[in-house]
Amino acid sequence: MNTQLYNPFEVLQRQIREAARILNLDDATTEFLLWPQRELKVTFPVRLSDGGVRVFHGYRIHYNTARGPAKGGIRFHPDETVDTIRALAGWMVWKTALIDLPLGGAKGGVICNPRLLTENDLEAIARAYVRATFQFLGPDKDVPAPDVYTNPQTMAWMMDEYESLLQTHQPGVFTDKPQQIGGTEGRRDATARGGIFAVREACKQYGVNPHGRFAIQGFGNAGQRAALLHADVLGGGKLVAVCDSKGGIYNEHGLDPDALVTYKLKTGSVVGFPNAQPIPRDAVLELDVDVLYPAALENAINADNAHNIKAKIVCELANGPTTPEADSILYTRGIHVIPDILASAGGVTVSYFEMVQNKSMYFWDEKTVHERLKEKITKAYQTMIEAMEEKKVHPRLAAMVVAVARVAQACKLRGWV
């Protein structure tokens, strides 16, 4: 099987159909949930720092706004496609619904290669994108955040451009901003922290040792934060293996997370880390550990390797790291998967907290943010477990059943279907 053939939007639609079947949704509601409500394709010219003008293409997609304003990231990526944006926008809908946030889901992107652009070029593209999508955006309409190859600085530029067009302060129109201009405490590590809160509940639910061995596939922002936070949040734990795009490393006696993150930031890779054994990148997935964090690419766990997974708990910090076939295999084998729409929901949850703080002009301390994040993730996890037990389905389908039911109900209450 070639896992690269998976179209993420087709995977999303398959998940929706399965949840709709279990919920006995009518045909009209199901069909409505299978497609984005609004799609904007934009083309805009930008004068770059070399003096030349280049034309860029971008998207902003509102998948569903029945429960509230659209919420979702903006990515700058050379291989962006409309189906990827559609799928990610859809997963944002289910993510916000599962966590029970009063938000819908969106996603956006610009087709470009940030590695070949200067800082001034990136600012020019960010501002041009806001001008092109301005009518789609607003604190009560659509609130973007960073995604792949964008960051808080990108959001600062975009917020400034939006406010310049509107001629008024609207800090709540973008989230994950620098704290000096309306960002919130606790956002930097929110995705990983939320995932680890879910792992804590899973350890309780299934009798897994929270202080055992763990491994991380992918060592970008989420993977690094998971390495640093796992033992702190759970009260213990031994990191034994990590990989990034260049290779993997292993030490059965444990890797020092702080030293490893420092080494990665300095050298650009985990490869060559002192006192660690080199291993193939994909081997990290198949190690005998208590918790595995897939935090890299989609389709990493698939029908080809699912039978070799030995972790007791798989916490998906990446989007779509497990294929539908692998979900069934892992469930049958008794391996508990915390699906991405729950495991990586910490980011959007704290982004929602930022929206609330921007509206009230009152900011919380970091402890308050962490406590409220823990409360949201814990409640969503227990709701998913209840759906698993009631419907006798695997965790991803249980999470989808909860989320799809909530969105469908909102659509019906509004009289849309």
Residues with a catalytic annotation lie at: 107
Which letter does DSSP use for residue 209 in this model? -
> CA 404 → CA 30, 84, 398, distances in Å?
9, 20, 10
Distance, in Å, from the CA atom of 333 to the CA atom of 328, rounded to the nearest integer, reads 9
Q: What's the N-to-C CA distance of the chain in angstroms?
A: 39
Distance, in Å, from the CA atom of 39 to the CA atom of 36, rounded to the nearest integer, reads 7
> If you write DSSP's letter for every residue of 246-308 in order, what string do you get?
TEEEE-TT---HHHHHHHHHHHSSSTT-TT-EEE-GGGGGGS--SEEEE-S-TT-B-TTTGGG
> If you write DSSP's letter for every residue of 364-392 in order, what string do you get?
--HHHHHHHHHHHHHHHHHHHHHHHHHHT
Tokens of 83: 């189906």
Contact 56, 38 (CB under 8 A): no
Residue 202 CB neighbours (<10 A)? 23
Q: Give the gyration radius of the chain's Cα atoms.
A: 21
